[in-house]
């Protein structure tokens, strides 16, 4: 804990995909000594328990329609607590700089003379497929991958033709618009029978892996729930070689 009157500091920390064992050593150390934690919706309760017992935990998760209001509150809270001489942890799921607004929070802190330090996290874009037995690259199958946002506002404006020839696609925040995205990828030139997968609630006891094709997704036949990582590419088939137990898999 910081001494009253000392200069405050912000740590921008990635909480990883959810399992506390995947948190970095540095992230755990900073949490153990912080004064305030501003945490997002996908940060697990197990990770929050690593914070100092006297730390103030403030939920700042965003829901559709209130993103701008909540983001302004986050900026205000970061500045308020840091100016009060506190050690502030801004705790974001995955990595703070992958499809979050971590860089904006970093900029606001610096523009206001607040000391800030980044502690990277394990992004779900790589860890969720990997832990489900889906490697993003594999010799003779995939030599490239792209991580893309599928969020409603940005996703619907995405030029999916840009990704027609990349071996493996990892789409974050793509569950809601999955049928649109799948059809857009088919229209852009990807094969309709190309394998795809959803990895739901990665690293948790409720993890579920759905194996399917772009065609089935485009036709609205695939159920998937947030939070989930959407993977498209022939590496999905590698899973059969890497995973023996398939009880949690629904095949369409």
**Which parts of the chain fold into alpha helices (H)?**
25-32, 45-48, 67-83, 102-111, 124-131, 152-155, 178-187, 214-218, 239-242
**Local confidence pLDDT in tens for the 252 residues of the chain:** 765 456 799 999 999 999 999 999 999 999 999 999 999 999 999 999 999 999 999 999 887 767 788 999 999 999 999 999 999 999 999 999 999 899 999 999 999 999 999 999 999 999 999 999 999 999 999 999 999 999 755 445 688 999 999 999 999 999 999 999 999 999 999 999 999 999 999 999 999 999 999 999 999 999 999 999 999 999 999 999 998 544 445 555
Q: Which of 65, 89, 119 is the last residue of a domain?
A: 119
This prediction has a pTM of 0.89
User: How many domains in the chain?
Assistant: 2
Q: Which of 73, 94, 119 is the last residue of a domain?
A: 119
CA 168 to chain centre: 17
At residue 25's C-alpha, the angle toward residues 101 and 115, to 5°, is: 45
The residues carrying an active-site annotation are: 40, 62, 173
Helix (H) or strand (E) holding 147: strand 145-149
At residue 207's C-alpha, the angle toward residues 19 and 194, to 5°, is: 120
Read off the pLDDT of residues 2-22 as tens digits, 9 standing for 90 and up. 654 567 999 999 999 999 999
Report residue 75: phi and psi, to 5°: -55, -45
Domain assignment present for 4: no
Instruction: Give just the sign of the alpha carbon dihedral 43, 49, 50, 55.
Output: positive
Residue 39 DSSP symbol: E
Domain assignment present for 135: yes
- Considering the domain architecture, whether residues 49 and 105 belong to the same structural domain is answered as yes
Read off the pLDDT of residues 150-201 as tens digits, 9 standing for 90 and up. 975 544 568 899 999 999 999 999 999 999 999 999 999 999 999 999 999 9
CA atoms within 13 A on the CB side of 169: 24
């Amino acid at each position: 804990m910081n001494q009253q009157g000392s200069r405050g500091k912000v740590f921008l920390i990635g909480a990883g995909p959810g399992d506390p064992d995947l948190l970095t050593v540095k992230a755990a150390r900073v949490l153990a000594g912080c004064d305030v934690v501003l945490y997002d919706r996908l940060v697990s309760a197990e990770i929050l328990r690593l914070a100092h017992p006297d730390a103030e935990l403030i939920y700042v998760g965003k829901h559709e329609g209130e993103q701008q209001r909540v983001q302004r509150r986050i900026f205000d809270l970061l500045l308020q607590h840091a100016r009060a001489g506190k050690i502030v942890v801004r705790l974001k799921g995955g990595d703070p700089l992958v499809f979050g607004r971590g860089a904006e929070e970093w900029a606001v802190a610096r523009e206001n003379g607040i000391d800030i330090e980044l502690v990277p996290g394990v992004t779900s874009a790589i860890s969720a497929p990997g832990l489900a037995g889906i490697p993003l690259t594999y010799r003779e199958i995939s030599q490239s991958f792209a991580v893309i946002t599928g969020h409603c506002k940005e996703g619907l404006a995405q030029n999916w033709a840009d990704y027609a020839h990349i071996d493996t696609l990892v789409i974050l925040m793509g569950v809601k618009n999955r049928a649109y995205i799948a059809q857009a990828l088919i229209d852009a030139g990807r094969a309709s029978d190309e394998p795809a997968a959803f990895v739901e609630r990665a690293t948790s006891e409720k993890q579920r892996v759905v194996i399917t094709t772009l065609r089935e997704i485009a036709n609205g036949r695939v159920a998937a729930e947030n939070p989930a990582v959407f993977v498209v590419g022939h590496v999905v088939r590698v899973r059969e070689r890497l995973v023996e137990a398939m009880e949690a898999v629904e095949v369409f």
